[in-house]
């Protein structure tokens, strides 16, 4: 995958990566970020996520951004 990304970028193309929840792992998205690849990876559904979705939607509708220091780089 990384070799193909490099080849496409050398040709001046914008690379975009889309994957399902099985790929929502740091070993997948961190190399993409290092190479300035835009990506969309679905998060696995779970009870806690479903329970909190209303709060999250309200949070974004109010124009707020997460303040957690858990991520090394912004993913917004």
**Per residue in 41-64, pLDDT tens?**
988 878 887 777 777 777 777 666
- The answer to whether residue 76 is domain-embedded is no
For the chain, the domain total comes to: 1
User: In this structure, is residue 49 part of a structural domain?
Assistant: yes
66 in a structural domain:
no
Residue 42 lies in a domain: yes
**CB distance 65 to 76 below 8 Å:** yes
How far is it, in rounded angstroms, from Cα 29 to Cα 22? Answer: 12
Q: For residue range 11-47, what is the model confidence (pLDDT) as tens digits?
A: 999 999 999 988 989 999 999 999 999 999 988 878 8
Tell whether 71 is covered by a domain: no
Please report whether residue 19 resides in a domain: yes
Buried b (16+ CB within 10 A) or exposed e, 4-14: ebeeeeeeeee
Identify whether 11 is part of a domain: yes
| Residue ranges making up the domain that contains 23 | 2-61
Please tell me the pTM assigned to this model: 0.57
């Amino acid at each position: 995958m990384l070799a193909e990304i490099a080849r496409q970028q050398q040709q001046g193309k914008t690379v975009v990566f889309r994957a399902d929840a099985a790929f929502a792992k740091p070993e997948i998205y961190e190399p993409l970020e290092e190479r300035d690849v835009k990506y969309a990876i679905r998060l696995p559904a779970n009870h806690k996520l479903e329970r909190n979705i209303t709060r999250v939607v309200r949070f974004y509708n109010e124009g707020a951004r997460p303040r957690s220091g858990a991520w090394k780089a912004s993913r917004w």
